[in-house]
A and B are shown apart, each in its own frame.
Chain A
Amino acid sequence: MSDNNTSPLLELSHVGKEYYGNRVLSDISFSIDSGEIIGLVGENGAGKSTLLNILFGMPVIASTGGYEGSIHIDGKSVHFTSPNQALAAGIGMVHQEFSLIPGFTAAENILLNREVLNGSLMSYVFSERVSTLDREAMHNRANAAIHTLGVNINPDMVVSEMPVGYKQFIEIAREIDRKNTRLLFLDEPTAVLTETEAEILLTALKKLAKSGIAIVFISHRLSEIKELCSRVVVLRDGKLITDQPSEELTTRQIASLMVGRQNTRREEHRVILEKASDVNEVLSPQPEKKKKPKPALRVEHLWVDMPGETVRDVSFEVQKGEIFGIGGLAGHGKLGIPNGIMGLYPAGGKVRLFGKRLTLNRPRAALSRKMAFVSEDRRGVGLLLDEPLDWNITFTAMQMQGRFLIGIPYIFQMRNELAMRSEAKKFIDSLEIKCTGPSQKAGELSGGNQQKVCLAKAFVLRPNILLICEPTRGIDIGAKNLVLDTLKEYNKENGTTIIITSSELEELRSVCDRVAIVDEGRIAGILPASSPAEEFGMLMMGQNKKNNDDEEGEESA
């Protein structure tokens, strides 16, 4: 830990990145010394993953035009073009999703492709690959790596039989075993751990840092960041917001730095979007809405088994004619809620639509109750990429409502291509979808136009309730505003209840009447959109009321 006045282990200066004219990172500069632990925090989309991709030389960076600025290791300039180069330079990475081979033992996984080999004559004649493995040495090496972490896992245990927490340790052990690893990136390592396991991990990381390895710790659990890291780097909208010692910051301050608290910016955004509508009315919609006795949608104790977006226990009500937002960090279950209500993933609990119980787990049931859904997975679920636009727009209405067909129902019905085309044309005009016509394949459109097609598909159904996931993900700013405007207009003209799920808090706050924040599969709180940004930030970070009190106590002490 002693500072020998040499150059830092890793130094980033003015790093920036643009994807197709879309700026995702700009002017990032910070440095790490060996033995230091840095907390890297930021909302989803703040640019963390792009930064990691740059550091690891992921091919996606080079194939999209490289990056700006420079990276120095030990004062020497480096420019990685493949992950292997980064590994060779001593950068290790533990990903969010496990990259372990389930049928292998802990030792085999830790030493994957770095096995200890018995020397043999054959290996000189052919290649190293024909040497046999030295199982005992592998066992010992793996054991040593595991012990560095301060946990007790049998290296001969098969990974598929391990509890989730163990797998995380095995991943880290693998990086530690790499002899030259000097800098370790951990991407939300505690997300899958129990509290005790997380504590063991934090202790282990401190121990590692003492041995001289620098650690970059990415987490949304701010208390962990505060406990572990000596410095906190906050990213927001691709910019470095702050880089300061963690003692100087409270978790509350970190949270508000992450989500940003410039209300002025929000107002501007809102004014643009709202045009003529009365700002005051939107800012205080509650009293008026409360008059209506029956909510449009009432969700009680909903759980949804959607991979990566598990919903554990969620209850909320949405009033008729309301625009309701659901926010929260990726992976905490906000996307699971609409997907579960629509019956796309196994779900349970009670959902009432205008007072009547909705059958779950059957998309048909939800659609027949005049609900429409725009999926977050446009290419996977939202569109028929190989089929023309008119198919995409009218298909659901045709199957569910028997429209765009000619013939006798239940006996013989053929699709009415003329009606399909004219309906598609209508939407192409009204939503300004850029395409060659209704017979162009959906896969050939740009992201923004594809999203408009998805909206058209939902509008054709003439829904009572419209559920929209990530309406602006991956589309450019112009299309973004158009999509949001369209939604607002649709809501005003038809009185349709709209539920928007989005990772972008600003967007939700500018469009919605109320916003619910989901944290670890549960609703952390529902606030009027006019509440200050940091309130939302605290909810997102899992800092509920109780923690806040602790925090304040700590501050005063």
Chain B
Amino acid sequence: MIRKLFDIIANNAVPAVFIIISAFAIPLSGFSASYLVQELLTRIGRNSFLILSLLIPIMAGMGLNFGMVLGAMAGQIGLLLICDWGVVGIPGMVLACLIGTPIAIVLGVFCGHIMNRAKGREMVTGYILGFFINGVYQMTVLYLMGWVIPITNPNLLLSRGYGVRNAVSLLGIRGVLDNFIPTMIAGTEHSQQFLSIQGSGAFMLLQIPCFNGAIRIPLMTLIVIALFCVFIIWFRKTKLGQDMRAIGQSQTVADSAGIAVNRTRIIAIVISTVLACYGQIIYLQNMGTLNTYNSHDQAGMFSIAALLIGGASVSRASIANVFVGVILFHLMFIVAPMAGKNLIGEAQIGEYFRVFVSYGIIAIALVLHAWKRNREREAARRSLRGGA
């Protein structure tokens, strides 16, 4: 009984702590509700897809897929190419996905094979693999693009004639998905006023009384994310999903039942990598600029931190964890610098604080997981002894 209670607390401790932190920090920051809601909506649209891509490897018992940055890099290569070719709008995004997919599949298969060789330490391997492929990516983008891979757009290239610039503007596809179905929510009194500010362009307008302010909704992105959630729910019900759950719990049993363990693990990683590729494309269409050499780095770390803050663990994660996580993590992200400034008079503190929290939370989640696993192993050992 006490154990059960302890388990409930342990399983939800992380989100709870974050709710408490936010409860203190929001008033301190002095942001208005509509500002926060707007920011959060934007960030949910921007990040959810990336975080969702982590779910499948967790299901297959491979832990947090630190190798998801591989997918992010594949997506970025797609984006760079469409920028060069000048394909804009939704066709541009689709083309970027089409280019990214085969690259992501190849990287995913590679990553899966490597992880099968390093069973039991998939996470650290994926993490290092991220760095390794980052090196290859940099080599491609910095040296091969414009030299071996033709890049003609001078705005993309460094002045020396090859290699891509550090910051690439994605104006062509900026917000195309978010604004595909332009939608706003506004308080009844404010709607007219905001419509006039937005100027031309028809907005689907939802009026809510007693709401102060107006919020734009990235409706299409949210729809895509919702579809993706449906995909994951469906996937869990398939034979493949069932096999992955079985492998996640016991590779030996799954193997003796005739499930192709290694192959299934590779499939899990490939799916995750491809989805991370799409996720990164969605993320960047919202951001509007591509940090050629940094964007992907942060993608992995922030996604993993957000998922963990949502209450997921290394071996168990749900769709709910994703959304709780993305809200709490980004709430802290938005609020921390201002709260830090208002509290100590130094915005920098808040900046560092949120970096610290991101890393700290991953560290704590990993420690709790290992700890729990070792305890469970002990318990399993004890249960073997039977009724003594």
Contact = CB atoms under 8 A, between A and B. Distances in A.
A130 B250 contact: no
Nearest to A305: B385
Nearest to A306: B385
A192 B386 contact: yes
Contacts of B246: 101, 104, 108, 112-113
A132 interface: yes
A503 interface: no
A45 to B, nearest CB: 23
B374 interface: no
B122 interface: no
- Contact-residue size bin, chain A (C-beta under 8 Å from the other chain): 20 to 34
Interface string A96-113: 000111111000100011
Interface in B227-252: 234, 237-240, 242-243, 245-246, 249-250, 252
A315 B114 CA distance: 53
Q: Which of A83, A113, A307, A312 has the most CB of B within 10 A?
A: A113
Contacts of A192: 386
A521 B254 CA distance: 32
A83 B385 contact: no
B259 interface: yes
Please classify the interface of chain B as helix (H, G, I), strand (E, B), loop, or mixed, using the class held by over half of its residues.
Answer: helix
A312 B386 CA distance: 11
Given A113-B259, A132-B234, A102 B249 contact: yes
Interface in B250-297: 250, 252-254, 256-259
Contacts of A128: 239
- Contact-residue size bin, chain B (C-beta under 8 Å from the other chain): 20 to 34
Interface string A308-319: 101010000000
Contact of A99 (B237, B242, B256, B259): B256
Contacts of B259: 112-113
Nearest to B381: A307
Contact of B240 (A101, A129, A303, A307): A129
B161 to A, nearest CB: 45
A164 B252 CA distance: 20
Contact of A117 (B239, B249, B252, B381): B239
A130 B235 CA distance: 8
A115 interface: yes
B20 interface: no
B388 interface: yes
Contacts of B243: 113, 129
A170 to B, nearest CB: 12
A171 B304 CA distance: 38
Nearest to B264: A129
A130 B240 contact: yes
Interface string B313-348: 000000000000000000000000000000000000
Contacts of A112: 246, 253-254, 257, 259
Contacts of A129: 238-240, 243
Given A115-B242, A129-B243, A130-B240, A103 B249 contact: yes
A312 B246 CA distance: 35
A129 B243 CA distance: 9
Interface in A70-128: 83-84, 87, 99-104, 108, 112-113, 115, 117, 128
Q: Which of A101, A102, A307 has the most CB of B within 10 A?
A: A101
Contacts of A310: 385-386, 388
A131 interface: yes
Interface string A122-165: 00000011111100000000000000000000000000000010
A305 B385 CA distance: 7
Contacts of B5: none
Contacts of A132: 234, 237-239
Contacts of A131: 238-239
Interface in B131-182: none
B8 interface: no
B253 A99 contact: yes
Interface string A276-309: 0000000000000000000000000001011110
B382 interface: yes
B240 to A, nearest CB: 4
A221 to B, nearest CB: 16
Contacts of B254: 101, 112-113
B388 A305 contact: yes
B253 A101 contact: yes
Given A113-B243, A113-B258, A131-B239, A102 B250 contact: yes
A308 B384 contact: yes
B383 to A, nearest CB: 8
B179 to A, nearest CB: 32
A101 B239 contact: no
B381 A133 contact: no
Contacts of B386: 164, 192, 310
Q: Which of A84, A104, A112, A131 has the most CB of B within 10 A?
A: A112
A213 B27 CA distance: 73
A295 B254 CA distance: 52
A461 to B, nearest CB: 29
A464 to B, nearest CB: 30
Contacts of A87: 258
Interface string B30-52: 00000000000000000000000
A459 B219 CA distance: 78
Contact of B239 (A104, A133, A308, A521): A133
Nearest to A98: B253
Interface in B94-108: none
A307 B381 CA distance: 6
Nearest to A135: B237
Contacts of B385: 305-307, 310
Nearest to B253: A99
A303 B258 contact: no
Given A130-B240, A305-B388, A100 B253 contact: yes
B242 A108 contact: yes
A99 B252 CA distance: 8
Interface string A359-388: 000000000000000000000000000000
Contacts of B258: 84, 87, 113
A58 to B, nearest CB: 11
Interface in B360-388: 381-386, 388
B382 A305 contact: yes
Contacts of B234: 132
A100 B383 CA distance: 15
B372 to A, nearest CB: 14
Contacts of A99: 252-253, 256-257
Contacts of B239: 115, 117, 128-133
Nearest to B383: A164
Contacts of B250: 101-102
B244 to A, nearest CB: 10
Nearest to B244: A129
Given A101-B246, A113-B254, A129-B240, 8 more contacts: A84-B258, A99-B257, A101-B250, A129-B239, A133-B237, A133-B242, A307-B381, A310-B386
16 contacts: A101-B250, A102-B250, A104-B245, A108-B246, A112-B257, A113-B243, A113-B246, A129-B239, A130-B239, A132-B234, A303-B388, A305-B382, A306-B385, A307-B381, A307-B384, A308-B384
